[in-house]
Amino acid sequence: MRIGELSKRTGVAVPTIKYYLREGMLPPGERTSPNQARYDESHVHRLRLVRALIDVGGLPVAKVRDLLATVDSPSDDIDKLLGTVQRAVIPPLPASGQAEMQAAAEEEVRALLDDLGWHCREDHPALTALAGVLVSAQALGHGTFLDTVRRYAVIAAQIGVADLDYIADKRGVDGMLESVVVGTVLGDTALIALRRLAQVNESTKRYPHRRAGTLTENQPEALTQAGPDDLA
């Protein structure tokens, strides 16, 4: 197919496709003449993947480029391949400037992982990110948030099991690699959305003084009387 059809099939504007080609996120089409090219289903799929990572996953274009470049070179070290997926989707948090706070929090996280019997590299970006959360929470007077994080950790273990199950199903290197990408990026978005819905549900369960499913008239005093309201 030609670029126009590729555009129609995917809903991506032609100039945008050209931009992705320039950026190397989409492999060039097969040449049919010095200035004509033909595209196939693999381009449709790749383009959908790119849009999913950008729109649904919220990744910046540059991250998508790096991610796909790494995935496209399966001759490379597999650690690097899979590690890159994780690194790409954890934006390194802009150094808080509180180096000692950060270091202390990282120690706390390592202790937490020890308690759980979890093992990972000393400098995994997720560890740094989590420590950053704790530093911020502390600075905001929410030191008790650490207890919630501990509860999260137990829950997260179940997520890890579901995630690895999903990947294990897949046959072939390419399929697995794409499952890691899709599962990680779309999974993040799905989990966050489900968290919101769970909060709404839990809230209406605890504070059923207002019907679920509707917004009612103003009752600003409800908060002080009844605690948190439904989040719907």
User: Which partner from the list DNA, a second copy, none does 111 bind, CB cut-off 5 to 8 Å by kind?
Assistant: none
Name the minimum Å distance from CB 28 to a second copy.
Answer: 22
Binder to a second copy among 83, 101, 104, 108 (CB under 8 A)? Answer: 83
Of 179-218, binders to a second copy (CB under 8 A) are: 179-180, 182-184, 186-204, 206, 212-218
Q: Are 133 and 109 in contact (CB under 8 A)?
A: no
Binder to a second copy among 31, 32, 118, 143 (CB under 8 A)? Answer: 118
User: Which partner from the list a second copy, DNA, none does 40 bind, CB cut-off 5 to 8 Å by kind?
Assistant: none
Burial class (CB in 10 A: 0-12, 13-18, 19+), 108: middle
Give the pair of three-digit tokens for residue 3. Answer: 């670029």
Give the pair of three-digit tokens for residue 232. Answer: 């719907």
Does the protein bind a second copy through residue 144 (CB under 8 A)? yes
One-letter identity of residue 189: T
**Chain-centroid distance, C-alpha 133:** 16
Contacts with DNA by CB under 7 A lie at: 2-5, 13-16, 18-19, 21-22, 28-29, 32-39, 54, 60-62
- Between 94 and 141, whose beta carbon lies closer to DNA? 94
Residues whose CB falls within 8 Å of the CB of residue 1, separated by 6 or more in sequence, listed in order: 9, 38, 39, 40
- Between 32 and 73, whose beta carbon lies closer to a second copy? 73
C-beta neighbour count of 121 within 10 angstroms: 9
Does the protein bind a second copy through residue 151 (CB under 8 A)? yes
